[in-house]
Amino acid sequence: SENNFGEIPDVCEWPENLKYLNLSSTQIPKLTTCIPSTLEVLDVSANNLQDFGLQLPFLKELYLTKNHLKTLPEAADIPNLVAMSISRNKLNSFSKEEFESFKQMELLDASTNNFICSCEFLSFIHHEAGIAQVLVGWPESYICDSPLTVRGAQVGSVRLSLMECHQSLLVSLICTLVFLFILILVVVGYKYHAVWYMRMTWAWLQAKRKPKRAPTKDICYDAFVSYSENDSNWVENIMVQQLEQACPPFRLCLHKRDFVPGKWIVDNIIDSIEKSHKTLFVLSEHFVQSEWCKYELDFSHFRLFDENNDVVILILLEPIQSHAIPKRFCKLRKIMNTKTYLEWPPDEEQQQMFWENLKAALKS
């Protein structure tokens, strides 16, 4: 011991029955097959060893103090080991499997190492029966180096919480819950048309910034006509002719004809309603199935009904069953229950009276 060997050769000559060898403090970086397999005690403390890979079947005591080992030696190479000192190395932890692989181990000195007090390591230390009798210097010389929250604490006294021990599981659980929450929001939003309501609310808030009502000089139309595309034949070929060719003629605002090209359709709807003296709804089964008709109805409600002005005219083009009106049309239900509406008569004799009543409503 205490020589400056630096390195040892691969082949050496030793007495045949050599049992004890002390190579401590000899600055050797690696052990070679020069070490005889007959040894029962080997001391290689205070060297520059980074691993121990010798097969010594008869070895009973091994001293590896003050080296650079990061793990315990392989038990299969030293099956009869009874005592081992691996203190003051770079050992971070050792597992239950590694510990129990030394079948004959009675004393293990792993003190003064920088232990990483992971959940697995702590669980093994706390639950391994008899480990306190095997570990030399337990518990005062076994100190946690990390995590930071327990640095400097004795390994035996540290208890990590369930959250600290199962961070990956916790993250997975949180991600799963967030995904399920978003999925539920999407499903519920789709079922109850939340996206439509958000779009509606945003457009309404934008409209709220504008004046409550366009000045009289800005009124360009007698009526804005809201109708379903499926009813366009009646609107464009019958109603428009009756009203725009009347004497005096009425000027109607139709989305097909009068909306500004390239302008957002919602802005077109808002501007057209604001620039019209009346808003005329042509109600039918098709109307209550149209998304844009819903927009137009709600815009009229927000911008015009709130002013308590009689600016809405309802034309019932065909009978509508109450159960056929979607829940989103609660305003339509309310309007139909509180306002008089014009019904389009199938009898030609009654149609003339219908047009007279409609013209009178538009002039009011």
DSSP 269-314: HHHHHHTEEEEEEEE-TTGGG-HHHHHHHHHHHHHTGGGT---EEE
Is 137 a residue whose pLDDT tops 80?
yes
Report the distance separating Cα 359 and Cα 363, nearest Å: 6
Half-sphere exposure of 208 (CA within 13 A, CB side): 8
Give the rounded percent of residues in the chain with a pLDDT score beyond 70: 82
Question: Is the predicted pLDDT of residue 215 greater than 60, yes or no?
Answer: no
Q: What's the mean pLDDT in 284-309?
A: 62
Q: Mean pLDDT across the chain, nearest whole number?
A: 84
| Closest to 230 (Cα-Cα) out of 282, 272, 158 | 282
**Gyration radius (Cα) of the chain, Å:** 45
Residue 254 has pLDDT above 80, yes or no: yes
**Least confident stretch, 74-78, 236-240, 241-245, 345-349:** 345-349
pLDDT at 139 over 80: yes
- The reported pLDDT for the residue numbered 188 is 82
pLDDT of residue 336: 66
pLDDT score at 230: 87
- Asked if residue 304 has pLDDT above 60, the reply is no
Report the alpha-carbon angle 332-213-340, nearest 5: 30
Q: Which of 67-81, 244-258, 269-283 is predicted least confidently?
A: 269-283
Whether the predicted pLDDT of 323 surpasses 70: no
Q: What is the pLDDT of residues 48-84, one digit of tens each?
A: 999 999 999 999 999 999 999 999 999 999 999 999 9
Q: Rounded mean pLDDT of 193-209?
A: 65
What contacts 167, CB < 8 A, 6 or more positions away? Answer: none
pLDDT band at 170 (very low <50, low <70, confident <90, very high): confident
Predicted pLDDT at 48: 93
Residue 305: pLDDT above 60?
Answer: no
pTM above 0.85, yes or no: no
Residue 5 in this model has a pLDDT that exceeds 90: no
More confident residue, 260 or 327: 260
Q: Which residues of 27-60 are buried (b: 16+ CB within 10 A; e: fewer)?
A: ebeebeebbbebbeebbbbbbebeebebebeebb
Highest mean pLDDT: which of 98-102, 157-161, 288-292, 318-322? 98-102
Confidence bin at 331 (pLDDT 50/70/90):
low
Superfamily of domain covering 213-363: Toll/interleukin-1 receptor homology (TIR) domain (3.40.50.10140)
In this structure, what is the dihedral angle of CA atoms 281, 361, 278, 336, given to the nearest 10 degrees? -40
Rounded distance between C-alpha atoms, residue 364 and residue 357, angstroms: 11
The pLDDT score that the predictor gives to residue 122 is: 92
Neighbouring-strand partners of residue 116: 146
Do 290 and 259 meet the contact criterion of CB atoms below 8 Å apart? Answer: no
* pLDDT at position 192 over 80: no
Q: Is the pLDDT of residue 301 over 60?
A: no
Among the listed ranges 145-149, 207-211, 220-224, 359-363, which one has the minimum average pLDDT value?
207-211
Cα angle value 231/236/242 (rounded, 5°): 120
